[in-house]
Structures are given as structure tokens and as C-alpha cells.
């Protein structure tokens, strides 16, 4: 158990819909990272938050947004969903804003868009 909790584990929704993925970081970790893993692809960095503020942005679509709340949990919002958005979405957390050995990943949310 990494200490990072992601909900829900599975999500099936229709094209055009909007979903929210939730991540609770390890206790005390200030940084939250979101990654997307499409079928047979590597993990693509989406966005990072540190103590409530956006710190780094990757190839995140404009239809996607995220935020980190005062209690440090984070949500990833995906809207106007397309079939190609079907993927595993991972959240990771670290304490120092650095992704060396201190980064811990959640179990992921499997999103299926039909």
C-alpha cells in the first residue's frame, strides 16, 4: 500500500460526458502529480500541484483541468470526453516537490469512454 488513494477504481461513461477523478496523497505529502497511461503507452505527465498551487504542466488537454484543495487532496476533471480519453489515470505524491525515490503512486482509475 503506497498510501496514495484514488477513487473510483473504474469508471465507464459516454462520450461528451464529464467525470471527476479523486486523489488523496500520502499523509504529509504536499505534491500531487497526475499521469495518463493509454493502451500500451508509457505514463504521460499531465500536471503537478504543490501545496494548492499549479507547479508544472505537461501535455494536458484544454478539456482537462485539475485542482488541489486545502486538505491537499486533488481532483482531475475531464470534460467533453472522447473515446481516445479511455486510459488509466494515475496520481502520485511526494513530499518535497521532487520526483526521485520519494514519489508514490496510487492504484489508478481506469476510465472507459463508450
Q: Could you tell me the three cell numbers for 31?
A: 505534491
- Kindly report the number of other CB atoms within 10 A of residue 89's CB atom: 23
Provide the CB-side half-sphere exposure for 26 (13 A, CA): 17
Question: Per CB under 8 A, which region of 11-19, 36-44, 63-71, 73-81 contacts other proteins?
Answer: 36-44
DSSP category for residue 15:
T
- Taking the complex as a whole, the smallest distance from the CB of residue 81 to other proteins amounts, in Å, to 22
Examine residue 41 and tell whether it contacts other proteins (CB under 8 A): yes
Distance CA 103, CA 10 (A): 23
Distance CA 53, CA 48 (A): 9
Question: Per CB under 8 A, which region of 12-20, 44-52, 61-69, 72-80 contacts other proteins?
Answer: 44-52
Nearer to other proteins, 31 or 113 (CB): 31
Q: Which of 45, 67, 73, 86 binds other proteins (CB under 8 A)?
A: 45
Point out which residues bind other proteins (CB under 8 A): 2, 4, 31, 33, 35, 40-45, 48, 50, 55-56, 58, 90, 92, 97-101, 103-108
Amino acid at each position: 500500500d503506497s498510501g496514495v488513494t484514488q477513487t473510483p477504481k473504474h469508471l465507464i461513461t459516454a462520450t461528451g460526458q464529464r467525470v471527476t477523478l479523486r486523489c488523496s496523497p500520502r499523509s504529509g505529502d504536499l505534491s500531487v502529480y497526475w499521469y495518463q497511461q493509454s493502451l500500451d503507452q508509457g505514463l504521460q505527465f499531465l500536471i503537478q500541484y504543490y501545496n494548492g498551487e499549479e507547479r508544472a504542466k505537461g501535455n494536458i488537454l484544454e478539456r482537462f483541468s485539475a485542482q488541489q484543495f486545502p486538505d491537499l487532496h486533488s481532483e482531475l476533471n475531464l470534460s467533453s470526453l472522447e473515446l481516445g480519453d479511455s486510459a488509466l489515470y494515475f496520481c502520485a505524491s511526494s513530499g518535497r516537490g521532487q520526483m526521485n525515490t520519494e514519489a508514490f503512486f496510487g492504484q489508478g482509475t481506469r476510465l472507459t469512454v463508450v
